[in-house]
Amino acid sequence: MKGFKLDKNGDISISNGKIEYATDMELTAQKVRTVLGTNKGEWFNNKDEGIDFRFILGKSATEDTVREQILNGLKQVDRELYLDSFLYSFDKQTRKSSVRFTAKNGDGETVINENEWE
């Protein structure tokens, strides 16, 4: 499967006047970043896509609630994805939440991701 490759701003990547494509695990990683960057209910075309940022940035956010949201997002991309490693931090003063994780699919292919929410 292939899809449009997105740059760091989420725009379609163009090189030498041609649209670039993402395939395989690069595409999976891109989908994971997109889902985890979408607050559930914000996208008009699919209100169920994304994760609930309240469980990541809210006063009651814990490592377990954040992990659950990450897992929910992974399952939206590929039912076989599971967390292989997970590192969570939260700065109470800035209310900034950070997660770094690796996820694997059934074939053992790895996605490495780092997200921050403010």
> What confidence tens digit (pLDDT) does each residue in 97-112 have?
999 999 999 999 999 9
Alpha carbons 30 and 113: distance in angstroms, whole number = 9
In this prediction, residues 1-20 reach a mean pLDDT of: 93
For residue 91, pLDDT over 90 is answered with: no
Contact 105/81 with Cβ under 8 angstroms? yes
pLDDT tens-digit profile of 65-83? 999 999 999 999 999 999 9
**What integer pLDDT is reported at residue 45 of this predicted model?**
92
Instruction: Kindly report the pTM of this predicted structure.
Output: 0.89
Model confidence at 62, pLDDT cuts 50, 70, 90, reads very high
Contact 115/56 with Cβ under 8 angstroms? no
**What integer pLDDT is reported at residue 8 of this predicted model?**
86
- Mean pLDDT (the chain) is 93
Alpha carbons 105 and 118: distance in angstroms, whole number = 29
Strand-pair partners of 82: 104
